[in-house]
Amino acid sequence: MTTPVSSVPTRTKFSDWLGLVFAAVMWAIFLIGWGFDIQSFVWFLATLAVYLVMTLLFLVWWFTRRSFTWSQRLMAFASALVLGVLAGYLSAHAIRPPIYLGLFGLPIVLGIWSAWVLATSRRVGRVRLGGLIACLMAAWGLFLLIRVNGLQGNMRADIHWRWTPTADEMFLAEHSTRAAAATTLPAGRRLELRPGDWPGFRGPDRDGAARGLSVALDWPQSPPTILWRQRVGPAWSSMAIVDGCVFTQEQRGEREAVVCRDALTGREIWVHDEPARFEEATSGPGPRATPTFAGGRIYAQGALGTLNCLDAASGRLIWSRDLRADAGAALPLWGFSNSPLVTGDRVIVFAGGEGKKGLLAYSLDGGPPLWTADAGKASYASPQPLDLGAERQVLIFANEGLFAIDPATGRIRWQFPIERAVGVPSVLQACRVSPDSLALGNGAVFGVQRVQVSSDGRSATRAWATPRVKPAFSDMVYHNGCIYGFDGTVFCCVDASSGERKWRDGRYGAGQVLLLADQGVMIVTSEDGQAILLRCNPQRNEELGRVQAVSGKTWNHAAVAQDRLFVRSDGEMACIQLRAIGRR
């Protein structure tokens, strides 16, 4: 009788190692990206390409293993495929985006598969195949124990045990038992903007800078005091702080909310919510934009495109518009993320609609758009003011370039086109580095470049560009000839006159930066919720102290009002006393 091929013990050969080599290449590219902090979209695509090639080579290797019969080879392949599909189905609500099941699963599964084949090369019979299938079950079964809450700022998966509650679940559980708001404003009170307040996204001038405030810098000896910290609904909104009130946006189950709290205690004053929920696999649920205060009102844009005008003292709805209907716009991949800008008697928002309806202006009293402007089809940046002499322009950075708009008429004053890359969004705010020039960042496309506006304010040209600084979605600040911000997830300093990178140091994750301009210091909020005090030093990264402000993924911009710092993450908000030593 002829002995089946699979029952003959064989000597280990070089070809038996090849499967492990292919799995090792997958691990290598993963670890290279991790160790060298490579987090670009191009590297992500390169990783996918390597995985595809190595998987195909692995399958060729497997189907040429003559130590297994054809039926055994087919059975093992079918088992791996069916188990992978089953793991994907059972973990569909836990591993998001689903592509991460493949990115993590393939190196592990193929590594265990090839290791078993190599380790049992001298064994015979059905036990070898049975053991392989058991290994495949165990490998895929690992993914039923974890949850992937989208990405971190470096494009790595945000991994947790599957049974740990999400930020959304923790907020709803705590909020259901929290006592009703104990703080109310007197009837008929009108909130007014005071010197030192922070009326919206990135401050009064939308440049991430606080002026007229000096604070104690001896954080190691006398760390700032956390006045209050509490759980909030998930969102990527920042905060507006006006007249003792702090405003933000949150997701509360199936309702989207604008919330007003007492800035000193954190207690809720009012909540305006309505049925709406936006959620996507990369960054989770919640609104993305920041409320804007102006003239006793709050203007808030929801992730699904609703623009609401609320009374700032009571939360009463004054008027509402649907941007998708007004602009004929589709829902962006990552939701509407643009904070409204109030300038003069207009509230200006980005919608990205068809038919020259990229940017829209509404009357402060509502109604249909007063004008629309052909200022791009896709952007996650927010409109911002640019004053050139006596003339005010409104800037918006979209995928098609940087646009300057006349806020009164909607006429485009000038446009600075940029290279386009499919799938790479425009996210950052333009950083003003002189009265007539701006630094513009998009790390995945061009790095950072300086844009020079002509003396008549009607055109713009490139002064310099550097690919050595690659900001993703962390904005920049400017101080005394230098630009400070993030190169990926590492903090850096750039010479504003030449584009030369002065230093790169400080691994703070995908954080944000806020400038205390009078003192030449910065407060960086790290991705893990720390507030870090840095001096604006063009020679080196000079860290003066740090304090853990919140927990959770902290992509949100911090805010400062009077002498208090407000920090929030996807699940917590805190107020920190900075100890003012001077104010003007």
What does the angle CA 240 – CA 404 – CA 413 come to, to the nearest 5 degrees?
Answer: 145
Burial of 260 (0-12, 13-18, 19+ CB in 10 A): buried
Neighbour tally for 127: CB within 10 Å: 10
- In order of 76, 305, 572, the CA distances from 12 in angstroms are 20, 62, 56
Rounded-to-integer distance, Cα 52 and Cα 58, Å: 10
Under DSSP, is residue 81 helix (H, G, I), strand (E, B) or coil? helix
Which of 501, 511, 500 lies closest to 534 in space, CA to CA?
Answer: 511
Paired with 449 in beta bridges are 440, 465
Strand ranges, E, within 78-224: 95-96, 146-151, 157-161, 209-210, 213-215
Under DSSP, is residue 151 helix (H, G, I), strand (E, B) or coil? strand
Per-residue pLDDT of the chain (584 residues; tens, 9 = 90+): 444 444 444 555 767 788 899 999 998 887 777 666 665 666 777 888 899 999 999 999 999 988 888 999 999 999 999 999 999 888 877 877 777 787 788 899 999 999 998 888 776 667 788 999 999 999 999 989 988 888 787 777 788 899 999 888 899 998 877 755 556 787 778 999 999 999 999 999 999 999 999 999 999 999 999 999 999 999 999 999 999 999 999 999 999 999 999 999 999 999 999 999 999 988 899 999 999 999 999 999 999 999 999 999 999 999 999 999 999 999 999 999 999 999 999 999 999 998 899 999 999 999 999 999 999 999 999 999 999 988 999 999 998 999 999 999 999 999 999 877 666 789 999 999 999 999 999 987 889 999 999 999 999 999 999 998 999 889 999 999 999 999 988 999 999 999 999 999 999 999 999 999 999 999 999 999 999 999 999 999 999 999 999 999 999 999 999 999 999 999 999 999 998 886 66
pLDDT of amino acid 121: 76
What does the angle CA 428 – CA 431 – CA 434 come to, to the nearest 5 degrees?
Answer: 165
Neighbour tally for 433: CB within 10 Å: 22
pLDDT of amino acid 135: 93
Q: Are 153 and 472 in contact (CB under 8 A)?
A: yes
Rounded-to-integer distance, Cα 32 and Cα 35, Å: 5
Kindly list the domain boundaries of the chain, sorted by start residue: 5-161, 167-179+191-583
pLDDT of amino acid 1: 42
pLDDT of amino acid 40: 60
Rounded-to-integer distance, Cα 193 and Cα 196, Å: 9
pLDDT of amino acid 41: 62
Rounded-to-integer distance, Cα 471 and Cα 491, Å: 10
pLDDT of amino acid 584: 61
Radius of gyration of the chain (CA): 27
Rounded-to-integer distance, Cα 234 and Cα 247, Å: 14
Does an H or E element contain 57, and which?
helix 41-63
pLDDT of amino acid 181: 52
Which of 502, 477, 470 lies closest to 558 in space, CA to CA?
Answer: 477
Indicate the CATH number for domain 167-179+191-583.
2.130.10.10
Q: Token match 């699904």: residue?
A: 304
Sign of torsion, CA 146 152 154 155? positive
pLDDT of amino acid 307: 98
For 231, phi and psi rounded to 5 degrees? -75, 140
Q: Are 583 and 558 in contact (CB under 8 A)?
A: no
Q: Token match 């996807």: residue?
A: 570
**pTM across the whole model:** 0.90
For 86, phi and psi rounded to 5 degrees? -65, -40
